[in-house]
Amino acid sequence: MTVGLHTFWALVLEPLARALRAREIVLAGGRDVELVRDLLTFGATVCVLAPQHGLDLDALRSEFGDRFASAPGPSLGALPEDRELDLLLLEGDPNWFATRRALRLAEERALAHDRRPPTIVVHGVDGPQARRDQYLDPDAIPAAYRQPYARRGVVPGQAELAGDGLDAHLCNALVPGGERNGVRTAVEDFVRESDVAWKQYDLHGAHGVSVLVTAEAVADNAALSDVLDGLSDAETLRAWLERLEELRVGAELEAARLRAELERASASAAPVTATPARAERLSLELELARDAQQRLQERFELLAGELAQVRVERDRFEELARRSR
């Protein structure tokens, strides 16, 4: 189960796009075909920067024509300078340097053409990468801005990395916290350092999002102001809590299914006495079964980490909902 930006479509992204009357949307680090299709079906022109595996680019171009585009690099510099953005969605490389660079470039690009900066939604401001860098490609991060890291996983509530933690196949900073570490830290630093008056609206849970909007844009757009203020009202919090519970139940069901598959894979790997020819074939089957078991085990451990994070976020949101009553 991957909790991506599409989780926020109904409560955040679609209302935001409608209030903005968004015509030009950029998704940095796109990997969720459902989100891309929803953005295109909404009617906007969508450009996906550094699209990840799972997106059928040719199929999207065939269906949506010129309203869909993609660029291989993660930088907004790949876009034409005269292209005015209404909404920027950041779900790419979850670390301080990449996040802050994308935010600054979006702002500088707009100001250089005397335009208002776009509304920006940043995913990953809660959870494992809030105060801890993760590097999809460590070599792409300048050494001065790169935390010491290891290819080990994050365990919710634990500072040390672990071999069976969340995203253990990726490069995670050795320790959380401190300067220049994590997505939320990047957002806070950008807002503090900018000469533009930015307003920040957060929705916690499912790794969290921060919506960044200029104060000028909020003042000029009553519908936008209503959407943003609504992110903290009791009705929205209750609806979001229900959504988080759906995610938790889905994770529990997937965990049970994977556990059953893992048990079947373990059973099929039992030693067998056979003739040499059959033994050779069974040896190959056993090797394949062990490979499958290992993949299932890795997937199960990844899911277990995500499930633990969902539970933490659910408990946090239940407390917020109680306080709002």
What pLDDT is recorded for position 84? 87
Average model confidence (pLDDT) across the chain? 85
Q: Give the mean pLDDT of 35-54.
A: 90
Domain 5-232 listed as CATH 3.40.50: yes
Q: Are strands 68-71 and 87-90 parallel, antiparallel or unpaired?
A: unpaired
pLDDT beyond 70 at 322: yes
The better pLDDT of the pair 245, 82 is held by: 245
Q: Give the mean pLDDT of 102-123.
A: 95
Residues counted in the chain: 325
pLDDT beyond 60 at 297: no
Vertex 260, ends 257 and 261: CA angle to 5°? Answer: 85
Percentage, residues of the chain above pLDDT 70 = 84
Query: From CA 315, how far away is CA 292, in angstroms rounded?
Result: 34
The better pLDDT of the pair 246, 97 is held by: 97
Contact 19, 223 (CB under 8 A): yes
pTM given for the model: 0.81
pLDDT beyond 80 at 243: yes
Residue 235, helix vs strand vs coil: helix
Query: From CA 85, how far away is CA 109, in angstroms rounded?
Result: 10
Q: How many CB atoms lie within 10 A of CB 143?
A: 7
Range with the poorest average pLDDT among 155-169, 221-235, 310-324: 310-324
What pLDDT is recorded for position 288? 44
What pLDDT is recorded for position 285? 44
Residue located via tokens 């069976």: 164
What pLDDT is recorded for position 284? 44
Q: Give the mean pLDDT of 133-142.
A: 95
pLDDT tens-digit series, residues 269-289: 555 444 555 454 444 444 444
Residue 36, helix vs strand vs coil: helix
Confidence of residue 2 (pLDDT cuts 50, 70, 90): low
Strands (E), the chain: 24-28, 45-49, 68-71, 87-90, 119-123, 134-135, 149-150, 171-173, 198-203, 209-214
Q: Give the mean pLDDT of 52-56.
A: 76
